[in-house]
């Protein structure tokens, strides 16, 4: 009887040892879920304003979050072109009330968002307008919504130093250096571009491929306390780690097929997987959801699964993720067109 009861602790100990040594984890088995997902969308929007597809979300401090949706429209590129009177960028307080909004008429397809150390907001516009006068840029705003800087040639796709072709995300390092993840499909550059604080080109790395330092849709960026750059290499179902000069360090596959990565002040990594198991080449056998773990060892310690059980269906669940000071998660959902709050139990 004693030996029989010891089997389970022994099994889990061996499982932990295997994971720690290999850097791999099972798709979702044995990982606890400490979060309760709200059944209703987060945010008190004005009458007539509904959530559009949203992938851009970032914690702003003091219980508030920044969100950029696609002007109340669907998930496709160009969603804001027919809604030029709708503000896509919103600051929400902890109760979901809109503190301020802006950006009407400025964007084609808001995609990635970042809040720097001074509270300024950075937003990527990942498509080109039909008339070719806007899009494919990265914009910097003051906390009040004043446009401070734009990088990229408006309405033009390219691979030169100051051109973008579907910029997915942006990040600003503590020293002011700017990193842009450029390329939303295999026909685009698939690179990381680095600028100084004034928007002057410094360097770049990456192209389409599956080796270390290569990408298939570098969809999101994050930085840990060691200064390592984390890239959500979504098409390759992995996270790649680099120095800020582009030296490849390692890759992790245990966080699924990440559409977004967010690292909090405690070096906890949150990865939003919105695409796994939606096709034969999209991480088959893995569950969609939000995986949580430490950047110290890469071990996944929590998993909030996608409640939509449609293994071969469309993408779902959060494509963007952030966390507040109380440990609650917020997910920006594209297909479900909502922002969702996940309360920690």
* Least trusted range by pLDDT, from 3-12, 21-30, 170-179, 294-303: 3-12
Rounded mean pLDDT, 112-120: 98
Question: Which pLDDT band, with edges at 50, 70 and 90, does 131 fall under?
Answer: confident
Cα distances from 129 to residues 85, 166, 261, 332, in angstroms, run 15, 12, 28, 23
| Same domain as 89, residue 7 | no
Rounded mean pLDDT, 158-172: 97
Interacting residues of 325 by C-beta distance below 8 A, sequence separation 6+:
61, 63
* Least trusted range by pLDDT, from 40-44, 190-194, 226-230, 280-284: 280-284
pLDDT of residue 310: 58
Q: How many domains does the chain have?
A: 2
pLDDT of residue 144: 98
Rounded mean pLDDT, 20-30: 53
We report the CATH number of the domain holding residue 217 as: 2.120.10.30
| Same domain as 237, residue 148 | yes
| Same domain as 41, residue 15 | no
| Same domain as 173, residue 107 | yes
pLDDT of residue 218: 98
DSSP string, 233-261: EGGGTEEEEE-TT--EEEEE-TT-SEEEE
Question: pLDDT tens for residues 229-274?
Answer: 999 999 999 999 999 999 999 999 999 999 999 999 999 999 999 8
Question: Which pLDDT band, with edges at 50, 70 and 90, does 281 fall under?
Answer: confident
Question: Which pLDDT band, with edges at 50, 70 and 90, does 22 fall under?
Answer: very low
| Same domain as 201, residue 183 | yes
Question: Which pLDDT band, with edges at 50, 70 and 90, does 13 fall under?
Answer: very low
| Same domain as 96, residue 57 | yes
How far does the chain reach from its first CA to its final CA, in angstroms? 35
Q: Which residues span the domain enclosing 164?
A: 31-344
Cα distances from 7 to residues 1, 12, 115, 213, in angstroms, run 10, 9, 48, 42
| Same domain as 135, residue 8 | no
Query: For the chain, what percent of residues have pLDDT higher than 70?
Result: 88
If one counts every other C-beta atom within 10 angstroms of the C-beta of residue 171, the result is 21
| Same domain as 236, residue 296 | yes
Residue 54 structure tokens:
């949203």
Interacting residues of 337 by C-beta distance below 8 A, sequence separation 6+:
50, 51, 52, 53, 54, 69, 74, 75
Find the helix or strand (DSSP H, E) in which 164 lies. none
Instruction: Give which of 93, 70, 54, 120 is closest to 272, Cα–Cα.
Output: 54
Question: pLDDT tens for residues 300-342?
Answer: 999 999 887 655 555 557 899 999 999 999 999 988 899 999 9
* Least trusted range by pLDDT, from 63-77, 206-220, 262-276: 63-77
* Least trusted range by pLDDT, from 128-137, 268-277, 283-292, 312-321: 312-321
| Same domain as 52, residue 16 | no
* Least trusted range by pLDDT, from 57-66, 209-218, 307-316: 307-316
pLDDT of residue 4: 38
| Same domain as 65, residue 151 | yes
**Residues pairing with 110 in the sheet:** 125
Residue 87 structure tokens:
């503000």
pLDDT of residue 9: 41
pLDDT of residue 285: 78
CA 231 to mean position of chain CA atoms: 10
Question: pLDDT tens for residues 174-204?
Answer: 999 999 999 999 899 999 999 999 999 999 9
Give the residue with greater pLDDT, 87 vs 27. 87
Q: 220 with 213: CB under 8 angstroms? A: no
| Same domain as 35, residue 18 | no
| Same domain as 46, residue 129 | yes
**pTM recorded for the entire structure:** 0.90
Give the residue with greater pLDDT, 95 vs 26. 95
Q: What is the spatial distance between Cα 158 and Cα 332, in angstroms, rounded to a whole number? A: 28
């Amino acid at each position: 009887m004693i030996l029989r009861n010891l089997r389970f602790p022994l099994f889990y100990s061996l499982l932990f040892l295997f994971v720690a040594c290999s850097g791999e984890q099972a798709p979702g088995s044995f990982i606890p879920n400490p979060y309760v997902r709200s059944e209703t969308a987060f945010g008190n929007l004005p009458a007539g304003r509904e959530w559009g597809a949203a992938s851009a979300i970032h914690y702003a401090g003091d219980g508030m979050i920044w969100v950029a949706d696609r002007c109340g429209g669907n998930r496709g590129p160009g969603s804001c072109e027919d809604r030029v009177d709708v503000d896509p960028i919103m600051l929400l307080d902890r109760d979901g009330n809109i503190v301020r909004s802006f950006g009407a008429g400025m964007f084609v397809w808001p995609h990635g968002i970042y809040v720097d150390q001074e509270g300024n907001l950075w937003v990527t516009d990942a498509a080109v307008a039909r008339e070719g006068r806007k899009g494919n840029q990265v914009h910097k705003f003051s906390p009040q919504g004043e446009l401070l800087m734009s990088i990229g040639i408006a309405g033009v796709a390219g691979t030169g130093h100051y051109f973008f072709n579907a910029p997915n995300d942006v990040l600003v390092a503590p020293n002011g250096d700017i990193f842009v993840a450029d390329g939303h499909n295999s026909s685009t550059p698939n690179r990381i571009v680095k600028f100084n604080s004034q928007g002057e080109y410094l360097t770049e790395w990456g192209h389409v491929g599956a080796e270390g330092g290569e990408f298939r849709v570098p969809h999101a960026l994050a930085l840990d306390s060691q200064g390592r750059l984390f890239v959500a290499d979504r098409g390759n179902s992995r996270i790649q780690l680099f120095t800020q000069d582009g030296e490849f360090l390692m890759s992790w596959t245990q966080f699924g097929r990440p559409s977004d990565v967010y690292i909090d002040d405690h070096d906890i990594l949150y990865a939003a997987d919105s695409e796994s198991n939606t096709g034969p080449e999209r991480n088959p056998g893995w569950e969609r959801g939000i995986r949580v773990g430490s950047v110290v060892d890469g071990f996944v310690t929590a998993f909030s699964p996608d409640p939509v059980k449609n293994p071969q269906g469309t993408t779902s669940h959060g494509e963007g993720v952030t966390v507040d000071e109380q440990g609650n998660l917020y997910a920006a959902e594209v297909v479900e067109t909502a922002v969702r709050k996940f309360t920690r139990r």
